[in-house]
Amino acid sequence: TINKQHGKFNSRVQLIKKSSSIDGGNKLGGYTLLNLATNYGINDNAKVSLNIKNVADKDYTIVNGYNQLGRTVSLGITYKF
């Protein structure tokens, strides 16, 4: 994970690498995921954030028989009272 602060922006790049594994006697393939995130501080109380997980929309399995999410994008606003 790499974080970079630039002015009011705070950005993060995360690379996750997993080798193959065994689940219940079944071999699961390895995978590599790229996640990106950034937020912008509007003021001391508010920020806007954008997160993109699984940027490459990689198909992968953590537990045999259960699909994982593809690319997900979320946009949010945080405000402290």
Supply 11's token pair.
Answer: 């950005």
Strand boundaries in the chain, DSSP class E: 2-6, 9-18, 21-23, 26-28, 31-41, 46-53, 72-79
- Predicted local distance difference test score (pLDDT) of residue 5: 96
pTM of the predicted protein model: 0.85
pLDDT in tens, 46-74: 999 999 999 999 999 998 888 899 999 99
Nearest-CA neighbor of 24 among 64, 67, 66? Answer: 64
pLDDT at 67: 82
Q: What tokens does 36 get?
A: 């990106």
- Mean pLDDT, to the nearest integer, of 12-23? 94
| Contact of 55 with 37, CB cutoff 8 Å | no
